[in-house]
Copies of this chain bind each other. A is one copy, B any other.
Amino acid sequence: METNNKRYSCFFQLATDIIGGKWKSMVLWTLKKDVKRNGELKRLIPNISQKMLTQQLRELEDAGIVERIIYPVIPPKVEYKLTTAGEKLIPILYDLHDWGKEYAQNHNIDFGEEAHCVID
């Protein structure tokens, strides 16, 4: 099977390709509760650059996971929200979060009081 010159031999591969990479799942995680603007995402995601943020948002948009809402005002206002397909990923990301928590406990990794995951 092929999409955009990419060949997949299975659904799992398709899924990891869509939400893979260094930042994509973190962007989705940050959008899990509500709509966010560019500036908010940049503040909430540690160490992401504007370039990477824009790039990842565009790719998520192309994949139909995130929707970009442009308000024709000055100064510019743009919001990003999960699509229906994107929202269906959130429970899976929560499971991953929980796995990470258990892993941290079993490996005596201490996150301290504020392991809030951006916004929990």
Beyond A104-B11, A115-B9, whether A99 also contacts B92 by CB under 8 A is yes
One complex includes copies of this chain to the number of 2
Chain A contact residue count (CB 8 A cutoff): 47
- The interface residues of chain B lying within 8 Å CB-to-CB of A15 are 96-97, 99-100, 103
Structural contact, B10 and A118, CB atoms closer than 8 A: yes
Which of chain B's residues has its CB closest to A7's CB?
Answer: B46
- The interface residues of chain B lying within 8 Å CB-to-CB of A3 are 109
| Contact mask for chain A residues 80-97; partner B; CB cutoff 8 A; 1 contact, 0 none | 000001001101110111
Query: A102 in the interface, Cβ–Cβ < 8 Å?
Result: yes
Which of chain B's residues has its CB closest to A11's CB?
Answer: B100
Contacts beyond the supplied A9-B118, A10-B100: 6 A-B pairs with Cβ under 8 Å: A1-B111, A10-B117, A11-B104, A11-B115, A18-B100, A92-B95
Q: List 12 A-B contacts (CB under 8 A).
A: A1-B115, A7-B46, A9-B116, A10-B115, A10-B118, A12-B25, A12-B93, A13-B100, A14-B109, A15-B97, A20-B25, A92-B96
